[in-house]
């Protein structure tokens, strides 16, 4: 489809795999160069980690976040180098919103790597391992999930935190409360409600200490107005003021990811084609469930990227 309005979306945690981008790195020098740049900031070889490390190593939040940021930015740089058109809009799922900030020029890449490493470390530290939990709920309306969480809290924290697509919501909070909410969602008619292999309850009030600690570091970093509008997780709207974007990135840590609304906003802005820029195809799959009129694809491999450049050429 040519001459259609294009948006880029960037994945969050869970899309990382050992061996990812190996093909793209052989085809596009931008990939290796971007990983080298990140490695010099981090003080370890990020490319070697994601090619030859162990899955449990790249699943450590402090490493996952800079890894996925670097992967997405490297593919976006390759996209532009191959003559890919600049998208009209961008959005990212949770950590992926930081990839959007870098690719839209809000944030320098090296600053982005530093901040998401800290973001990951602080988020993991905010709740001791084993005390928090997350779970996916399939086949239940958003409002029914919210009611189940409210009735299951019993003085603890449990809430809907990722509105991923109609009928797919992730909940998070204190481990015991999440357990009660899983049972409540099943009783309310959910097709499935299952714990996720994540130890920290992301995007809940339990993350507010992490946000408070990251806020001064965000404040001390230069943010620019975005060259490409970004639809933000917190409210599914665009924002042009750098100070307001800083505030949103702090708030995002303890607020729900309103992904369904973000994709619906893009469609409302006239987006017809959506490219997932990063490893995996989770967001491309969600987009089709949110709005079937969207043409969604991912560009993790060199073949996919080259084909998408051609398909989206004006």
Which among 39, 99, 203, 232 is annotated as catalytic?
203
CA 123 to chain centre: 14
Both 85 and 139 in one domain: the answer is no
The backbone region for 157, taken as left when phi is positive above 0, alpha when psi lies in -120 to 50, beta otherwise, is beta
Of 174, 199, 224, which closes a domain? Answer: 199
Both 27 and 114 in one domain: the answer is yes
Q: What is the largest CA-CA distance in the chain?
A: 55
Both 229 and 295 in one domain: the answer is yes
Residue 141 and residue 164: Cα distance in Å, rounded? 12
Cα→Cα distances 256→207, 211, 246, Å? 11, 14, 17
pLDDT at site 198: 77
Both 16 and 146 in one domain: the answer is no
Of 199, 216, 250, which closes a domain? Answer: 199
Q: Which domain does 261 fall in, by range? A: 5-126+206-311
Residue 42 and residue 172: Cα distance in Å, rounded? 29
Cα→Cα distances 190→73, 137, 153, 194, 256, Å? 37, 7, 18, 10, 20
Both 278 and 177 in one domain: the answer is no
Both 243 and 281 in one domain: the answer is yes
User: Which H/E stretch holds residue 295?
Assistant: strand 295-298
Which residue in the block uniquely carries the two structure tokens 């709207």? 237
Both 52 and 71 in one domain: the answer is yes
Using one digit for the tens of pLDDT, what is the confidence trace for 287-297? 999 999 999 99
Both 150 and 190 in one domain: the answer is yes
- Residue 235 appears among annotated catalytic residues: no
Both 165 and 256 in one domain: the answer is no
CATH number of the domain where residue 173 is located: 3.30.70.250
Of 148, 176, 199, which closes a domain? Answer: 199
Residues of the chain with pLDDT below 50 are 1-2
How many structural domains compose the chain? 2
Both 136 and 177 in one domain: the answer is yes
pLDDT at site 1: 42
User: Which H/E stretch holds residue 112?
Assistant: helix 109-126
Cα→Cα distances 196→13, 132, 171, 172, 174, Å? 12, 11, 10, 10, 13
Both 99 and 113 in one domain: the answer is yes
- Residue 203 appears among annotated catalytic residues: yes
Which among 74, 94, 165, 255 is annotated as catalytic?
94
Please list, in sequence order, all residues whose beta carbon lies within 8 angstroms of the beta carbon of residue 97, skipping any fewer than 6 positions away.
Answer: 10, 91, 230, 232, 233, 249, 252
């Amino acid at each position: 489809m040519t001459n259609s309005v294009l948006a880029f979306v960037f994945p969050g945690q869970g899309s990382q795999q050992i061996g990812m981008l190996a093909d793209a790195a052989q085809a596009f020098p931008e990939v290796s160069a971007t990983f080298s740049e990140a490695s010099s900031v981090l003080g370890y070889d990020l490319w070697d980690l994601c090619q030859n490390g162990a899955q449990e190593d790249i699943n450590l939040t402090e490493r996952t976040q800079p890894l996925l940021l670097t992967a997405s930015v490297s593919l976006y740089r390759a996209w532009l180098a191959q003559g890919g058109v600049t998208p009209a809009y961008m959005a990212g799922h949770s950590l992926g919103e930081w990839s959007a900030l870098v690719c839209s020029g809000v944030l320098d890449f090296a600053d982005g790597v530093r901040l998401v490493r800290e973001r990951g470390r602080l988020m993991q530290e905010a709740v001791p391992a084993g005390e928090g939990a997350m779970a996916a709920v399939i086949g239940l309306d958003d409002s029914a999930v919210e009611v189940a969480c409210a009735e299951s809290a019993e003085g603890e924290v449990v809430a809907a935190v990722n509105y991923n697509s109609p009928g797919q919501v992730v909940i998070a909070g204190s481990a015991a409360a999440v357990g009660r909410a899983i049972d409540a969602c099943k009783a309310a008619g959910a097709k499935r409600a299952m714990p996720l292999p994540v130890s920290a309850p992301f995007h809940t009030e339990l993350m507010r200490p992490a946000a408070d600690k990251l806020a001064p570091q965000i404040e001390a970093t230069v943010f620019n107005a975005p060259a490409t509008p970004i639809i933000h997780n917190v409210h599914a709207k665009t924002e042009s003021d750098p100070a307001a974007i800083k505030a949103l990135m702090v708030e995002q840590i303890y607020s729900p990811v309103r992904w369904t609304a973000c994709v619906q906003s893009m469609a409302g802005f006239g987006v017809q084609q959506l490219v997932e820029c990063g490893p995996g195809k989770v967001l491309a799959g969600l987009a089709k469930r949110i709005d079937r009129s969207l043409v969604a694809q991912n560009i993790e491999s060199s073949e996919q990227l080259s084909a998408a450049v051609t398909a989206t050429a004006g």
